[in-house]
Structure 1
């Protein structure tokens, strides 16, 4: 067997297993993300300008965070969107580069109906990142020196 194939295969196996090694259960991580987005979301708006989808994060079958730029995001409320948590691609409908409440939809690659957007709230990405950094911060303290070993 070619040994050069073993290293990539081992790396692939490690990459597949690693996400399951988190100490926080998946449902709890998703709930924490929902809380973070909800806390950073502003007042509802009727529409937002949309040229391209930079990134997206499903939070539930009724909530979706979409990024139109690295520092510009919107929390979308949906009228129920089957399999949103498990789809690997989405799209947004728009009219003249505007995504509007009640008119536009989230499209998934599944055979389900498009998901109607029932609410749009801009997300203060900067404040959300600051809050996340505070959660990640740790208190560092020097260790006490170990007592000297006794000689017999």
Structure 2
């Protein structure tokens, strides 16, 4: 009986450790999903502060042209978007999620529809964007924040016409 008990104890401890690791990943993913949903809600309400609430002060974004933007530039872009848009709708889905300690790497598929007045056309226009972004989030002080975003794919249409990158 003793010979059977020792291996079973080891197996139980291994299974417990694996389930704890899985739980840690699912807890982190759920927390980040909630933050993303809050960001989307703020975006759709055109609340600039809420849109940037989960960005670290040292956040950087690299677009497909390899141009890098910091939080200051992001804030300016968000303020222009909020000022110009009549409505914004966003969908986002986490396609891949990995956790290593207090850092999470996500691949996110995003779709956004923005309705805004088009000065050139003298009417409202519909801008649709589709992108895939790899984001790195880190946890500090119990809060998950975006640290870096890298645009992997991006397409856009304006009133149904494909736009150049």
Output the TM-score relative to the length of structure 2: 0.27
The structure, 1 or 2, with the larger RCO (C-alpha pairs under 8 Å, 6+ apart) is 1
**Hey, which of these two has a bigger chunk of strand by percent?**
2
Output the TM-score relative to the length of structure 1: 0.29
**Hey, which of these two has a bigger chunk of helix by percent?**
2
